[in-house]
Amino acid sequence: MATMVDIPAHVPADRVVDFDLFNPPGVEEDYFASWTSLLDGPGLVWTTANGGHWIAARGDVVRALWADAERLSSECLAVTPGLGDVMRFIPLQQDGAEHKAFRMPVMKGLASRFVVALEPKVQSVARELMEGLRPRGECEFVADFAEILPLNIFLSLIDVPREDRPALRKLGVQLTRPDGSMSVDELRQAADDYLWPFIQKRLAEPGDDLFSRILSEPVDGRAWTEDEARRMCRNLLFGGLDTVAAMIGMVALHLARHPDDQRLLRERLELIPDAADELMRRYPTVAVSRNAVTDVEIDGVTIRAGDLVYLPSVLHNLDPACFEVPEEVRFDRGLTPIRHTTMGVGVHRCVGAGLARMEVIMFLREWLGGMPEFTLAPGKAVAMKGGNVGACTSLPLVWNNQG
């Protein structure tokens, strides 16, 4: 149950809402509807859940605050008490010049040439999974595909054993949708215990994996310290364990519900890159938290220094003031990935955005090119969960192999 607190004196009574981001009303049936209910009110609201924090509840406010790296810090990481103090992610929880210095090696490690080089691997893993699923005529898509494809790609990227995926997947979910079974200290320790042997080897004998590429790049002309290496690898591990899996699940849910979109993309494969951008816009589930380092005047209220602000991408991407009829999927909308907020805004835009987009495009190409037309399984429920990364947690699909 979310921890409630008293309402601070600077929070107007008409800005207070009863809203727990980990369990918004109706989230199990529709994650997006549970959030867009906030669009009917003011652009900034306060909830007493989870220790008390602001929520940017209108698209322009979400976008403006996400881009405000001067007055809002990334240090807090999340509204989960103590999580930021424990994780100390590099570069996610850094600001200013320090963030820029550490972000540069990470960006070099994830340069577009490395992402393009991964495409055959994504294709191979996708086809391997599909070969096992196709004869069955049905699958639980989240467990059978969405939670496997991007994780196996990420594990190959950092060169750790694929058989470790189930255990690592559990750690990723505890960060974004915690169930109380692990403390934040236990979560960090579990990740560090797993990573440390690999980090030691990468520091001593760099290879061609992602961690090696990043740790081989100097930070302001010097080598990484062991503590910095731990914090960076910890950041990338958690970053690679949940977000793309959640996105692929949402994309598959849309296609199962909209057979005309399936057919169009099967017939016109050239539309897939634009379709990927539009689907990523339509189904965003990532949010970030910021802590104010100075007072911020916005939407007629004052965010006081020290206040936490929660910034959900869904309330920018699905705000009618930001996108025309935002709940409609239009493959000819003419988007670029920068215009939507699924992968963030400004200096803290997701370092893995290019990799994530490539994986969604490859998923669409391979699944639509190699699987029969699919629908939701009759009589079986779709389930969703809220959190710092919302997700479709159950997606039963069926198809006819005789078609």
CB of 366 closer than 8 Å to CB of 84? no
Q: What are phi and psi of 169, to 5 degrees?
A: -60, -40
DSSP for 266-279 reads HH-GGGHHHHHHHH
In terms of Cα–Cα distance, which of 352, 338, 284 is closest to 312?
284
Q: Give the pLDDT mean for 26-47.
A: 96
CB of 245 closer than 8 Å to CB of 145? no
pLDDT of residue 1: 43
Confidence band of 172 (pLDDT split at 50, 70, 90): confident
**Per residue in 215-238, pLDDT tens?**
999 999 999 999 999 999 999 988
pLDDT of residue 125: 95
Q: Is the pLDDT of residue 64 over 60?
A: yes
Q: DSSP code of 396?
A: E
Q: Give the pLDDT mean for 278-305.
A: 96
Pairs from 136-139 (Cβ < 8 Å, separation ≥ 24): 137/398, 137/399, 137/400, 137/401, 138/377, 138/396, 138/397, 138/398, 138/399, 139/396, 139/397
pLDDT of residue 333: 85
pLDDT of residue 241: 82
Q: How many CB atoms lie within 10 A of CB 386?
A: 24
Domains of the chain, start order: 13-399 (1.10.630.10)
pLDDT of residue 169: 87
Residue with tokens 């990468």: 202
Q: Is the pLDDT of residue 78 over 70?
A: yes
**Per residue in 258-290, pLDDT tens?**
999 999 999 999 999 999 999 999 999 999 999
Q: Is the pLDDT of residue 113 over 60?
A: yes
- pTM for this entry: 0.93
Pairs from 194-198 (Cβ < 8 Å, separation ≥ 24): 194/164, 194/167, 194/168, 194/237, 195/230, 195/233, 195/234, 195/237, 196/230, 198/158, 198/159, 198/160, 198/233
Q: Is the pLDDT of residue 71 over 90?
A: yes
pLDDT of residue 52: 94
Residue with tokens 């080089």: 117
Is the bond into 91 cis (omega within 30 degrees of 0)?
Answer: yes
Q: Give the pLDDT mean for 14-43.
A: 96
- What CA–CA distance (Å, rounded) separates 274 from 331? 6
